[in-house]
Amino acid sequence: MGTVKRVRRRGVSALTLLCAMAVLASAPALGLTGTAYAAPGAPTSPAAPGAPTAPEPGTKSLEQVRKEIDELYRQAGTATDAYNQAESETKAQSERVVELAKQVAAGRERITSLKERAGAAARAQYRSSGLPPGARLALSGSPSQYLDGADRLRQGEKATADLLAELNRTQNDLQRYSKDASALWRQLEANRVKKETAKKEIEEKIKAAQELESKLEAEEKARLLQLEQDAQRQAQAAWLSSGVLKEINGAASEAGKAAIRFATAQVGKPYEWGAVGPRSYDCSGLTSQAWLAAGRGIPRTSQEQLRLLPKVAIKDMRPGDLIIYFDDASHVALYVGDGAIIHAPRPGRNITLAGAGSMPIKAVVRPDA
């Protein structure tokens, strides 16, 4: 009998919990921030009828989970920028090392050739200058013949001196090339370490975010996406309410139009850190390739785009400009006009159209200023 009562009590508790979930599921999207997500291993208990829905100790609201996931992905974006910068520098340094290696090889061949020529010139000079000048004059057929010979001798001596000077310059160049190559090798090694460190951080942050999201039920994941979209809409609405669009009326340049056409064609493709297409992109991979398609090569990373491209005021922004986001310049998007951007948001999301004010704007830069 006691067993039956316990079963009935559990049944009533389960029914109460299902009813509570049904009420929460029917609530408006913006009212979901009070729902609780149980942290792994945290004690949970069914809510009593009429009890408040405040999270118990050890639980997180779905909004807190969303913010934590967003922050993890933002940190992954920062690390991605560091990885991309190290990758770009490594590529340039590798090309320079190859160039220096060719110069070293050519320098060594040149030194060998110069030494052979200098040796031959020295032997010829020795044979012709073995006698003192008076003896050579006495033995010559005529004074003019002697003078011609002496002139040729001076020319030979000058040629030998020039050879030795060139040999010395080539040896100095070779030493400089070798020194530069050694320095570049050290930089390459430092960048390799930087890349590996950034890669490890990226993978750790993405894994942590994915693990957080994987613990959610399908319904919670859908609500999480809704919360994410709601937060973006609220930020965009606040940005638009400032009247900023009334001042933004610049027309796109021809290159800007080409960059927009390229970016538009990529909508729907997945985000992938470190990718520059054609199947997937990260945020700066998309913007750099869009402008490359428009005939303008720009820096690979959002931080370098901010540092090296001309800045413009938001009120002077025009379609085709790049908007840099967050204090650490870890995200970038292509402005397409009417308060909208095209960007590659983060892992697990596809390239999409979004509001230009949906994230904190740091600066606007213009690739074709």
Question: Catalytic positions, please?
Answer: 283, 331, 343
Q: How far apart are CA 356 and CA 181, in angstroms?
A: 45
Q: How far apart are CA 351 and CA 344, in angstroms?
A: 4
C-beta of residue 338 within 8 angstroms of C-beta of residue 284: no
Q: How far apart are CA 345 and CA 281, in angstroms?
A: 10
DSSP conformational letter for 130: S
Alpha helix (H) residue ranges in the chain: 2-25, 62-128, 133-139, 143-214, 218-241, 254-265, 283-293, 302-308
Task: Specify whether the backbone of 290 is left (phi greater than 0), alpha (psi in -120 to 50) or beta.
Answer: alpha
Residues 6+ apart with CB under 8 A from 9: none
Q: How far apart are CA 75 and CA 67, in angstroms?
A: 12
Per-position DSSP letters for 138-200, written without gaps between them = HHSS-HHHHHHHHHHHHHHHHHHHHHHHHHHHHHHHHHHHHHHHHHHHHHHHHHHHHHHHHHH
Q: Residue 352 forms beta bridges with which residues? A: 343
Counting Cβ atoms within 10 Å, is residue 76 exposed (0-12), middle (13-18) or buried (19+)?
buried
Quote the crossing angle between the two packed helices 283-293 and 254-265, to the nearest 10°: 130
Largest Cα–Cα distance in the chain? 144
Structure tokens, 194: 């930087």
**Residue of 297, 338, 295, 329 lying closest to 311 (CA atoms):** 329
